[in-house]
Amino acid sequence: MIVVLLGPPGAGKGTQGERIADKLGVPKIATGDVLRAALRDGTEQGLAAKAYMDRGDLVPDSVILGIMKEVMAAPSSQKGAILDGVVRTVPQADGLATMLAELGRKVDAYLLFDVKDDELVRRLSGRTVCDSCQTPYMGLEPGTKCSKCGGTLVRRKDDEPDSIRNRLKVYREQTEPVIDWVKDKKMELVEIDATGDLDEITERAMKALTE
């Protein structure tokens, strides 16, 4: 099963994506994580993406589609994948659909996480992430050890107030049109309330995907 997670920054795509992927027994692929790893490794792709990411702007579609081509052809994603943070523009949605069709595959569902703006800002301003496995945390200070892998928690550069504001604007302008694109194509789009208890949100998502 291939599922695309849609929703604004801070909606919990990373948090829930991990849980849904575990339940379905498929990998979670997050373009943000791939780009941050490339940056840590000092690759050309990572360095080119850095300025866009720090400002909260989108990395060019061609870079993202290049990443997706590689990961969707990999043996690990043959059973399916949870795609977190991709697609974010209509050209990416089109590009992914074409690429999957060439592989004889398709997106089975788009899951849209709904959270109000003030809650998004609260979450992003209080977030730290593991610098190694990327797990996000709430209410833990930078420097704390990650309970999952022992890495160190850091604040993301794009969780500064100016970048958060820009990311929300970019989402409205460039990613929200994907919702109408999905509707126009008559594809499966499920909206879920992504506020409240983590287990309940996972349950809502799983119900939506398996019904």
Neighbours of 98 (CB within 10 A): 10
Contact residues toward ligand AP5 (CB under 6 A) are 7, 9-15, 30-32, 35, 52-53, 56-59, 64, 85-86, 88, 92, 123, 127, 136-138, 158, 167, 195-196, 198, 201
Of the pair 47, 138, the CB lying nearest ligand AP5 is at: 138
Task: Find the shortest distance in angstroms from Cβ 50 to ligand AP5.
Answer: 9
The least distance separating ligand AP5 from the CB of residue 25, rounded to whole angstroms, comes to: 20
Tokens linked to 18: 């991990």
For ligand AP5, the closer of residues 104 and 171 by Cβ is 171
Known catalytic residue: 105?
Answer: no
Nearest to 80 by CA among 28, 121, 33: 28
Catalytic (active site) residue 156 = yes
Candidates 88, 105, 116, 204; catalytic one:
88
Of the candidates 28, 36, 156, 204, the residue annotated as catalytic is 156
Q: Which of residues 1 and 33 has its CB atom nearest to ligand AP5 in the complex?
A: 33
